[in-house]
Structure 1
Amino acid sequence: MADDEVLPADGAAEVPAAAPDEPHRDDGLDLARTVARATVGTTGPARRRRGKDATTRDAAAAAQARSGRRRTSGAHPDDRDPQLLGSSLSRLVADHGWELDLRIRSLFARWEELVGAEVAEHSTPESFAEGRLVVRAHSTAWATQLRLLAPTLLRRLAEEVGDGVVTVIEVLGPHAPGWTRGRLSTRDSRGPRDTYG
């Protein structure tokens, strides 16, 4: 910043008057420099550094400048005081829109706590997309049992991770080996039925 520029309380640079003996340049650089000097601290990274609520802070700073008092930390909390880690993380999660992702990851991590030890022993959550939770059962009997328990599980999940987050529970049976290849495969047959659960 040049010595002849003065920064007022609102942070914008005042543009000095051009000297009358300076020649006018036709290439536009003088206009560009004038505009650049006028916008110092009002756009781009400088404005982002000042934060979202810069206008509120600027207004408070201007009011304090008018009153002649210097801002000092007192008995009451302000934005310069150390912040609690939990509140800082909550603000970070909210700013980035990670609430839903954290709820879903919490559902996967706390599956046994949410559905009970016996159900969790025989089932595993596999994926979540657009309100649909896919659960893999370890046997066909448990897949049937989970399908019957689905409304109860939906209510329990709504209490824990939020209403409307999980709208459908899709229960899949166990992974079974395929019989389309190998020494024991047969052509034109129906193959084995449910012999693995």
Structure 2
Amino acid sequence: MKKSDRGRMVRALPLGDILEQVLQERGLSDRLHKYRAFTCWAKAVGPQIAAQTQPLRVRDKILEVRVAHPVWMQQLQLLKPRILARLSEHLGPGVINDLYLRQGRIDQNPQATAPHPPAWKSAKLSPDQERHIADTLASISDPDLRRTMERVMRRQAQLENARRAAQSSATGSSGS
């Protein structure tokens, strides 16, 4: 079939929808729904608890969770009804009915401890710096090279601004 013979695609489906449909056809959608508890765990319990816990598996509507310390296990035992209610909000009622807490070492959770970008990356450039970059790059005709050079020059200016700000705050605080 030639490209011109087929009708125009109205809208491409998101990959998540396609996967969900395939899993549903194979009778695995219930399992997938249960394991969504892993992705919503940090939202349901908050960053402080998420940093001390790690969901491991789901068996018979029971979510097994590894906990870093016995004190946290005791605290989570007290918070269990609230956590289950929150999980029900995210997953729907009856998906997870209980938590099984197990003490153990927690693998570093990238969602709970996502590093913040360095401050220099969000630094704004002055109008003079913007003008200098534009003037410097005006003679470059290749758009890809111009974009790359602009990115490099912006980052360099942001770094210099951050260094100057750090030096001025260090000299200002030491002089007090």
Larger Rg: 1
Q: TM (normalized to structure 2)?
A: 0.48
Structure showing greater relative contact order (alpha-carbon pairs closer than 8 Å, 6 or more residues apart): 2
